[in-house]
Amino acid sequence: MVQDFSYPKKEAYASVNSYIESDEFVCAWDGFLALVDLICSFPSGSDAVMADAKEAFRAIPARPDQLPGLVYKTPDNKYIVDLRLPFGLASAMGVGPRR
Q: How far apart are CA 36 and CA 33, in angstroms?
A: 5
Q: How far apart are CA 5 and CA 3, in angstroms?
A: 6
State pLDDT tens for residues 27-60: 666 788 988 898 899 999 998 777 666 656 667 7
Position 54, amino acid: K
Domain containing residue 22: 17-94
Does any domain span residue 10?
Answer: no
Domain count, the chain: 1
Does any domain span residue 11?
Answer: no
Does any domain span residue 12?
Answer: no
Helix (H, G, I), strand (E, B) or coil at 33: helix
Residue 77 pLDDT level (bands cut at 50, 70, 90): very high
57 Cβ contact list (under 8 Å, min separation 6): 87
In this prediction the pTM is: 0.47
Report phi then psi at 60, rounded to 5.
Answer: -90, 110
Which letter does DSSP use for residue 35 in this model? Answer: H
- The pLDDT score that the predictor gives to residue 99 is 46
- The pLDDT score that the predictor gives to residue 44 is 92
Number of residues that make up the chain = 99
